[in-house]
Amino acid sequence: MAAGGGVIAREEMAACIAYVMAWDAADVPVSTTTDPLSGWRGWLAGRGLGLVPIAEPGRFAWAGTWIATGARPGGAPGAAVMFGVPPGVLFDPLGDGAAPPAIEAGFAVAALDVSRRGAEETGDVAPAGVVEGIFVAAAAEAPMTAVGRVAATTAGLEGDRYVRGAGTFSNRESTGGALTLIEAETVEALGLAPGEARRNVVTRGLGLNALVGRRFRVGDVECYGQRLCEPCAHLQRLTRPGILRALVHRGGLRADVVTDGVIEVGAPVVAA
Q: Percentage helix, strand, coil, to 5, in the chain?
A: 20, 30, 45
Closest CA to 51 of 61, 60, 42: 42
- Distance, in Å, from the CA atom of 183 to the CA atom of 188, rounded to the nearest integer, reads 9
| pLDDT at position 149 | 96
Beta bridge partners of 270: 128, 217
Phi, psi of 68 (to 5 degrees): -100, 135
Largest CA distance in the chain: 62
Q: What is the pTM of this model?
A: 0.63
Tens digits of residue pLDDT in 99-134:
889 999 999 999 887 654 443 444 455 568 999 999
- CA dihedral sign of residues 88, 111, 213, 55: positive
Q: Categorize the per-residue pLDDT at 70 as very low, low, confident or very high, splitting at 50, 70 and 90.
A: very high
Strands 156-157 and 179-183: unpaired
Looking at residue 46, what is its pLDDT? 78
